[in-house]
């Protein structure tokens, strides 16, 4: 084979691979939107494959076709929640860890940060205290952490079989990706950021297996209490 013939074949292989990749990313994006908008999970293994192997590329592709790259993490969390749901429900709270982000804490929180995370004093000024209290009563081990370094330590130092996590879409998707050996359930933050974030408390309690009455409000806005001295629940 001559060198020019080799380059010709090589070029064709690269072109075909590129076209296949574009088809894969397009199909994943379409299936992901169906999952998010219609709650229908189609070809979950394909979605997970694209997410795990082409995560960064998939984000760039989404942006290039005018779709906010956040959708990639949204799809990742949704698909993992659905795929893991059945297995997760078979595991007892005693074997499950609940991981909350410290950015949910009240702005005047007095809890100290230690090696295992934030040591919540359960003053109930914010939703962390409520979830921690309820979670511990049910048997969950509850951790309130500032970032993925703490999560790594928690995984290394504790025995558990399942995880419920709360975080922004990107952190949640990446954490669920890294913890793919465990049946994880994730609840994305409604408002992310470094402080004063917000979560749907009902959604977290439902993941914990708490049966809630329709329409019952747990906090004024299911998030951190904006009033410094007002306690919730
Ligand atoms: S309930 Fe919220 S504000 Fe109170 S100590 Fe715990 S994390 Fe801090």
- The answer on pLDDT for 124 being more than 70 is yes
Position in ligand 1 atom list of the atom nearest CA 144: 7
Residue 184 token pair = 């994880």
Rounded CA-CA distance 163/140 in Å is 10
Mean pLDDT within 119-132: 93
Ligand 1 center from residue 150 Cα (angstroms): 18
Q: Which of 98, 110, 121, 218 to mutate to test the pocket of ligand 1 (most atoms within 8 A of CB)?
A: 121
Q: What is the pLDDT of residues 3-31, one digit of tens each?
A: 888 899 999 999 999 999 999 999 999 99
**Strands 112-114 and 117-119, sheet pairing:** antiparallel
Note the Cα 124 to chain centre separation in Å: 24
Position in ligand 1 atom list of the atom nearest CA 224: 2
State the residue for tokens 């004063």. 196
Q: What is the pLDDT of residue 194?
A: 83
Shortest CA distance to 75 belongs to which of 59, 53, 98? 59
Rounded CA-CA distance 196/147 in Å is 16
Q: What is the pLDDT of residue 218?
A: 54
pTM for the model stands at: 0.86
Q: Name residues contacting ligand 1 (CB within 6 A).
A: 105-106, 109, 111, 120-126, 128-129
**Of 217 and 51, which is predicted with more confidence?**
51
Position in ligand 1 atom list of the atom nearest CA 111: 5
State the residue for tokens 């592709």. 61
Ligand 1 center from residue 231 Cα (angstroms): 10
Mean pLDDT, the chain, whole residue set: 90
Q: What is the pLDDT of residue 221?
A: 41
> Which residue ranges make up each domain of the chain?
3-84, 92-207
Percent pLDDT > 90 in the chain is 82
């Amino acid at each position: 084979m001559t060198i020019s013939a080799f380059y010709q074949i090589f070029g064709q292989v690269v072109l075909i691979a590129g076209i296949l990749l574009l088809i894969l990313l397009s199909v994943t994006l379409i299936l992901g939107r169906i999952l998010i908008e219609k709650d229908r999970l189609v070809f979950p293994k394909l979605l997970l494959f694209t997410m795990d192997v082409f995560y960064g590329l998939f984000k760039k592709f989404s942006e290039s076709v005018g779709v906010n790259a956040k959708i990639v993490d949204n799809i990742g969390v949704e698909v993992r929640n659905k795929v893991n749901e059945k297995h997760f429900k078979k595991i007892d709270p005693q074997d499950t860890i609940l991981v909350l982000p410290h950015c949910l804490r009240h702005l005047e929180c007095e809890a100290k940060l230690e090696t295992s995370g934030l040591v919540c004093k359960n003053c109930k000024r914010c939703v962390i205290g409520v979830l921690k209290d309820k979670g511990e009563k049910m048997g969950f081990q509850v951790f309130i952490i500032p970032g993925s370094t703490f999560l790594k330590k928690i995984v290394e130092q504790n025995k558990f079989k399942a995880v419920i996590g709360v975080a922004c879409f990107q952190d949640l998707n990446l954490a669920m990706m890294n913890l793919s050996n465990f049946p994880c359930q994730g609840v994305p933050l409604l408002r992310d950021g470094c402080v004063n974030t917000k979560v749907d408390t009902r959604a977290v309690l439902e993941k914990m297996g708490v049966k809630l009455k329709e329409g019952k409000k747990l906090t004024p806005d299911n998030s951190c209490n904006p009033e410094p001295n007002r306690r919730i629940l």
